[in-house]
Amino acid sequence: MRDAGFRCFQAAARLSAVLVPAFVFILLGYLLWRGLPVLGTKLLFAGVPPLDAVSGRVPVWDGLWPACAGTFRLVLLTVALALFPGVGCGLYLAGLATPRQKHVFGAAVDMLAGMPSIVMGLFGFMLILFLRRTFFPGANTGLLLAASCLALLVLPVLIVSTREAVESVPETLKLAAAALGMSRVQTLLRLCLPAAAPGISGGVVLAVGRAAEDTAVILFTGVVADAGLAAGLLDKFEALSFEIFYISAQYQDQEELLRGFGAAVFLLLVSCVLLLAARVLERAFHRRWQGKR
Amino acid sequence: MEQMPAVAVRRLSVSFFGRAVIRDVELSLPGGGISVLVGRSGCGKTTLLRALNRLNGEFPGCRTTGQVELFLRGGRHVVYPGGDQPPLELRELRRRVGMVFQTPQVFPTSVYRNMALPLQTVADCPGTELDGRIEAALRQVDLWREVHDRLQTPAERLSGGQQQRLCLARALTLEPELLLLDEPTASLDVHAARHVEELLLRLVEHYPIVMVSHSLSQSLRLASTLLIMGTGGTSPRACTPEGLDERTLEALLQETKEDAPCVTR
Ligand SMILES: Nc1ncnc2c1ncn2[C@@H]1O[C@H](COP(=O)(O)OP(=O)(O)O)[C@@H](O)[C@H]1O
Ligand SMILES: [Mg+2]
């Protein structure tokens, strides 16, 4: 009897374990099946010579290139903006804060983590309206504003992953460092931070994913369908996530819909490239710190 | 042979969250040889040892009263505030009083960085001297021959005995003037433990050593002074190991235990 119960449980557990890869497989398979055939330089550059398009000498109007480049820049800028305060706050919470501070700051971080991205976008938009009425009449939505709002959105991910990674360094090791005469800040920066690098890089990976897929925030803060390559940080920009949304809402024939699938595949590729870059950087660092082999 | 003391403990009491662990301990340790602290588990040996480099202060709820005086190069220093001179600065104190723990506490990085980190952060060692000082310390603990071609591999890859010797070397790079060892061989196999013991007998020529030992036979092999600590955290009783064997030491331990109620207050 108990044996049968256990069998049932085992089967159910196995089924749920298989479900995840199955869905990933179906999802990716469908995406690639629809997206891959249209993939190519024509979809990306719409006939403009690639070199001219990449260097920005010739504007690309019909291709997905500006959206690809826009997403790429947006994500990089977001991570650049969020990395320092995120890791810094996580370090502080893990190593220096008093229990009371941990409680208060931790609650604030949790609240920020629970903030829907549409609210964050709205907040950015209101900020611009406020700036227009007060100090900068010329203020407008653009790449920098969108990246700032996204940075706020991914900040909790970085804080929490840093904090957890640093807190998982054993107390006995910190005590050994203290016994050697290292100060708390030295222990935190020279021992705990490098030891926590894999955890922090995990946080960066999550942040990259979140920033690449988010549409709600950028909708309010500067994304448009036909900006071309953004010239500067304050200009409007294109992004793949928005492109997909836009195409699926507006398509008129099958070919245009396929462009949407192509954009989805490109979004996947851009994310993959960024994630790989994060992993490679972390590996290289870890190998240097931990020693070879 | 009468020696200058290395450590003098005066009316030292340590409590955690109001619960006294050691009370009014008076103790004087010689400036040479190995002083071995023995006693039942939980009687406060580790706490007493940590009091000598103010390491108890790293724990929450700790309160220390009384004074510890260290006789190091440059004369007498006090460890806790409230004495006749300002206490040693924390970093200076811990640099000059090295400590090794019960389980090897190697940092999760390469052998080389394990050694280099305290040198860079605590001793302000210039980069050009780093390699030389690391090699010298590793030679002192017989580890150089074993690891000189694996300095860049993770220290956690070393065997337990090697890890513990690495920890010893890490403390030695800072050129300490007193070594505190808390059951340094408790987590090692017999062979590795013997190796560490031989090492300690060699190191004691250069550094006074205070160690806690879990093993009576080891205490008898190493000690030049035996400190028998009773339960209740009172002053340990000092005696010389001459003429003692394990049975009489065990009896002494038992006796000290029964003495415990004579705590004043
Ligand atoms: N950081 C601490 N916080 C609270 N209690 C402690 C702490 N360190 C030691 N103690 C208590 O002090 C007593 C003596 O501990 P310890 O010095 O580690 O004993 P020993 O090393 O002789 O086994 C124990 O009862 C232990 O619970
Ligand atoms: Mg102990």
Cross-chain residue pair A178–B94, CB shorter than 8 Å: yes
Q: Identify the pLDDT of residue B1.
A: 43
Instruction: Give B50→chain A minimum CA distance, Å.
Output: 9
Architecture of domain B5-106+176-255: 3-Layer(aba) Sandwich (3.40)
Q: Quick check: CB of B18 below 6 Å from ligand 1?
A: no
Q: Does B88 touch chain A (CB under 8 A)?
A: no
| Domains observed in chain A | 39-289 (1.10.3720.10)
How far is the C-alpha of A124 from the C-alpha of A186, rounded, in Å? 37
Q: Which helix (H) or strand (E) holds B181?
A: strand B178-182
Here the tokens at position A190 are 């020279």
Closest residue, chain B, to A183 (C-alpha): B91
Is the CB of B181 within 6 Å of ligand 1?
Answer: no
- Residue-level pLDDT at B258: 54
- Distances from the Cα of A105 to the Cα of A88, A92, A94, A114, A160, angstroms: 13, 10, 11, 14, 11
- If one residue of B46, B50, B214, B219 were mutated to test the ligand 1 pocket, choosing by the most ligand atoms within 8 A of its CB, it would be B46
Give tens-digit pLDDT for B6-39.
999 999 999 999 999 999 999 999 988 999 999 9
Query: In order along chain A (293 residues), what is the average pLDDT of each group of 10 residues?
Result: 86 92 92 82 74 74 81 92 95 92 93 90 87 79 88 94 94 96 94 92 90 86 77 78 85 82 86 87 84 66
**pLDDT digit string, tens, across residues B103-160:** 999 999 999 999 999 999 999 999 999 999 999 999 999 999 999 999 999 999 999 9
Measured distance CA(A201)–CA(B256) in Å, rounded: 55
Residue B234 pLDDT > 90: no
Q: How much is the pLDDT for B66?
A: 94
Bridge-based pairing of strands B225-229 and B34-39 is: parallel
pLDDT of amino acid B262 = 41
CB-CB under 8 Å, B112 with A176: no
Q: Name the residue among B70, B83, B41 with its Cα closest to residue B178.
A: B70
pLDDT value at position B261? Answer: 45
| pLDDT tens per residue across span B204-221 | 999 999 999 989 999 999
Give the rounded distance of the alpha carbon of B131 from its chain centre.
26
Q: Which of the residues B113, B156, B183 would you substitute to probe the A interface, choosing the one with the greatest number of A C-beta atoms within 10 Å?
A: B113
- What pLDDT shows up at residue A242? 86
Helix residue ranges per DSSP H, chain B: 45-51, 90-96, 111-121, 127-140, 144-147, 160-173, 190-203, 216-222, 246-259
Say yes or no to pLDDT of B260 above 50: no
Cβ proximity of B11 and B27 under 8 Å: no
Q: Which residues surround ligand 2, an ion (CB under 5 A)?
A: B 46
The pLDDT value recorded for residue B257 is 63
Q: For residue A119, what are the contacts with CB-CB under 8 A and spacing of at least 6?
A: none
Mean pLDDT of chain A: 87
Read off the tokens for A240.
């793949």
Tell me the two tokens of residue B16: 């955690």
The confidence score (pLDDT) of residue B249 equals: 85
Q: Rounded distance, CA B116 to CA B133, Å?
A: 9
Report which of A233, A74, A222, A97 is spatially closest to residue A154, judged by C-alpha positions: A74
* Whether the Cβ atoms of residue B5 and residue B30 lie closer than 8 Å to each other: yes
Residue B59 has pLDDT above 80, yes or no: yes
Classified as helix, coil or strand, A283 is: helix
pLDDT of residue B7: 94
Summarised one tens digit per residue, pLDDT across range B151-189 is: 999 999 999 999 999 999 999 999 999 999 999 999 999
Question: Looking at residue B263, what is its pLDDT?
Answer: 39
Residues making up chain B, counted from first to last: 265
* ipTM here: 0.92
Q: Ligand 1: which residue has its CA nearest to atom 5?
A: B16
For residue B41, which atom of ligand 1 is closest to its CA?
23
Has residue B3 got a pLDDT over 70? no
State how far the Cα of B91 lies from the Cα of A178, in Å rounded to an integer. Answer: 9
